[in-house]
Amino acid sequence: MKDTLKELMNYWRLYVLTLVLGIGGSFQYGIQVSILASPAEHIQSFVNQTWLGRYEVPVEESTKMLIWSFIVSVFSIGGWLGAIHSGTLPVVYGRKKALLINNIVAIVAALLMTLSRVAKSFEMILLGRLLYGYNVGLGLSVHLMYLGESSPKKMRGFLTLTSSIFSAFGKLVGAIVGIRELMGTDDMWPYLLAVSGIPALLQFLTLLCFPEAPRYLYIDKGDEEGCKKALRWLWGEDDMKMELEDMSKERDATHGQKAKTVCDVLRSRSVRWQLLALVIPCAGVQLCGSTALYFYAFDIFCQAGVPKDQMHYLTIGLGATEFLAISLCSLLIDRAGRKKLMGIGYILMGIIMSVLTISLYFKDYYLWVPYLNISLIFFVICIYGVGPAGVSMTLPADLFLQAWRPSAYVISGTVGWVSLFFIGMFFPFVVDGLGESCFLIFVTYCIISGTFMLCFIPETKDKTMVEIMEDFNKLNFKDRESNIKTKNFVLATKL
């Protein structure tokens, strides 16, 4: 008990930093993913009214559907642009300044959303969604960079996973504030879309009180005194010596290299398996079917036979389930390990969605089948939270050394956002074309991703960055000596 209280006292500033970072990119990502479900009807009506006022004819149904698809999907394009800049802005300006700049983008987006109805412009909604996407794409990556580089090794898994907790919490909050009893009304929807400006403003004001990430100061800037000062402020003295030694080994391993580009990561043999271990699960976060459940939850529940007046509350239930599941994952990740949670999670999701696909065909034959389908959807979200959703956020921080890490975040962000764009743009047409079989696409990817993680990827828990790289070098250079020494690794990191 005394040790626990002492640790809480030593790291209380680090926990506050975790909270401050969480209310930015991750929390806002969750809000933006779930918030459009409630005001969709009101926004489409606004598009129709605006079109009628401009051209004196109602908008065609196909045109309205296309505009709505762009409103949903332009968020992903903005996220991709933000993810691209996450490889340069935090390197040039530092993690802290990059987030401060990023918050201004979200505040501008909130103003556009608020004024869109007054200006009678649905284009302002499109631009606002694009800026929100940019804010989240950059914020998610820099949030994880900043937190991973400010955390001691023993807490790195848990603290970086908090980004998933904040994301799930954001989905829950977005679903709650969007109900018709609160802000999901025809009068309030512009303010509902502007909600993300509030956490952006809070993060901007509070982040000014915190230091730059210690690893960035020590390894990238060579500022040892600044690093020590930041560590003392965040942690106290207890673990500082050990962590400085780890940083020193990492800096020696990179041998003074500058930050690598995306092309370097894609071409270098020394990070080939790390790249595979990053790309396949990061794409799986979107292609496993969970995001489709949130974007088009109403359509899926309608197919399951749920009355329309109950759908909002089931969406809230989905958000609460994911939040609780990811919270459970935070307690398991440093015990069960990343590999098992993600690999087994994907395979279980694939199995349950296979059962869901079959049961959807019988929803009209038995009264109890729609309730079984709803239960299966909740099971999918629960397993997604305990495994893939939480663990995938820790991968770039776990798999890559400092010089490679910013570009790794660019790649993971690009894969995630491009996957999200295709899901948002084309999933309604997939549902129309395949009907109950639409989940088979996600089943295939879940089984492939889970098998790959369990069979090929080494565990990373409780290991230093150099130890993790040595494990991966046995795969990257398996045709050479099996026992690769650290000195060989130093040479291997050079192109």
Q: Taking the CB of residue 4, how many other CB atoms lie within 10 A of it? A: 8
pLDDT attached to residue 210: 92
pLDDT attached to residue 109: 95
For the chain, percent of residues with pLDDT exceeding 70: 86
pLDDT attached to residue 294: 61
| 237 is a domain residue | no
| 227 is a domain residue | no
From 317-326, 377-386, 416-425, the region with the lowest mean pLDDT = 416-425
Rounded to whole angstroms, the Cα distance separating 32 from 191 reads 13
Q: Give mean pLDDT, residues 369-381.
A: 82
Here the tokens at position 419 are 């996957």
1 pLDDT exceeds 50? no
Q: Are residues 274 and 332 in the same domain?
A: yes
Higher pLDDT, residue 340 or 390? 340
pLDDT attached to residue 489: 39
Highest average pLDDT, of 37-41, 186-190, 373-377, comes from 186-190
Here the tokens at position 341 are 């949670």
pLDDT attached to residue 293: 66
* Per-residue pLDDT reduced to its tens digit, 168-193: 888 888 888 888 788 888 889 999 99
| 233 is a domain residue | no
| 464 is a domain residue | yes
Confidence category of residue 305, pLDDT binned at 50, 70, 90: low
pLDDT attached to residue 479: 62
Here the tokens at position 265 are 């990561």
Which of 191, 210, 229 is at the close of a domain?
Answer: 210
Q: Give mean pLDDT, residues 40-68.
A: 88
pLDDT attached to residue 485: 45
* Per-residue pLDDT reduced to its tens digit, 111-169: 999 999 999 999 999 999 999 999 998 998 888 889 888 888 777 767 877 888 888 88
pLDDT attached to residue 204: 94
Q: Taking the CB of residue 353, how many other CB atoms lie within 10 A of it? A: 25
pLDDT attached to residue 8: 56
pLDDT attached to residue 488: 44
Q: Are residues 269 and 203 in the same domain?
A: no
Among 136, 144, 31, CA closest to 82 = 136
For the chain, percent of residues with pLDDT exceeding 90: 16
CA angle at 98 for the pair 202 and 14, rounded to the nearest 5° = 60
Q: How far apart are the first and last CA of the chain?
A: 50
Four-residue CA torsion sign, 127, 193, 101, 231? negative
Q: Are residues 410 and 316 in the same domain?
A: yes
pLDDT attached to residue 300: 61
From 74-78, 245-249, 428-432, the region with the lowest mean pLDDT = 428-432
Q: Are residues 454 and 374 in the same domain?
A: yes
Q: Are residues 204 and 288 in the same domain?
A: no
From 213-217, 233-237, 254-258, the region with the lowest mean pLDDT = 254-258
Q: Which residue has the tokens 């991703």?
A: 449
Range of the domain at 341: 257-495
| 336 is a domain residue | yes
Rounded to whole angstroms, the Cα distance separating 100 from 94 reads 10
Here the tokens at position 191 are 């303010």
pLDDT attached to residue 415: 84
Q: Are residues 318 and 389 in the same domain?
A: yes
Contacts of 82 (CB under 8 A, 6+ apart): 102, 133, 134, 135, 136, 137, 138, 139, 141, 413
Q: Are residues 16 and 142 in the same domain?
A: yes
Burial level of 303, CB count in 10 A (0-12/13-18/19+)? Answer: middle
SS (H, E, C) the chain: CHHHHHHHHHCHHHHHHHHHHHCCHHHHHHHHHHHCCCCHHHHHHHHHHHHHHHHCCCCCHHHHHHHHHHHHHHHHHHHHHHHHHCCCHHHHCCHHHHHHHHHHHHHHHHHHHHHHHHHCCHHHHHHHHHHHHHHHHHHHHHHHHHHHCCCCHHHHHHHHHHHHHHHHHHHHHHHHHCCCCCCCCCCCHHHHHCCCHHHHHHHHHHHCCCCCCHHHHHHHCCCHHHHHHHHHHHCCCCCHHHHHHHHHHHHHHHCCCCCCCHHHHHHCHHHHHHHHHHHHHHHHHHHCCHHHHHHCHHHHHHHCCCCHHHHHHHHHHHHHHHHHHHHHHHHHHHHHCHHHHHHHHHHHHHHHHHHHHHHHCCCCCCCCHHHHHHHHHHHHHHHHHHHHHHHHHHHHHHHCCCCCHHHHHHHHHHHHHHHHHHHHHHHHHHHHHHHHHHHHHHHHHHHHHHHHHHHHCCCCCCCCHHHHHHHHHHHHCCCCCCCCCHHHHHHHCCC
483 pLDDT exceeds 60? no
Rounded to whole angstroms, the Cα distance separating 212 from 237 reads 18
Q: Are residues 196 and 345 in the same domain?
A: no
Q: Give mean pLDDT, residues 253-258.
A: 62
Q: Are residues 203 and 273 in the same domain?
A: no
Q: Are residues 170 and 280 in the same domain?
A: no
Rounded to whole angstroms, the Cα distance separating 369 from 363 reads 5
Q: Give mean pLDDT, residues 405-432.
A: 77
60 pLDDT exceeds 60? yes
pLDDT attached to residue 367: 74
Contacts of 474 (CB under 8 A, 6+ apart): 482, 484
Question: CATH no. for residue 457?
Answer: 1.20.1250.20
| Domain count across the chain | 2
Residue 194 CA to its chain's centroid (Å)? 20
Q: What is the average pLDDT score of the chain?
A: 81
- For 418-433, letters b (16+ CB in 10 Å) and e give bbbbebbbebbebbee
Which of 210, 241, 267 is at the close of a domain?
Answer: 210
Which of 195, 210, 225 is at the close of a domain?
Answer: 210
| 114 is a domain residue | yes
State which amino acid sits at residue 104: I
Q: Are residues 432 and 310 in the same domain?
A: yes
338 pLDDT exceeds 90? no
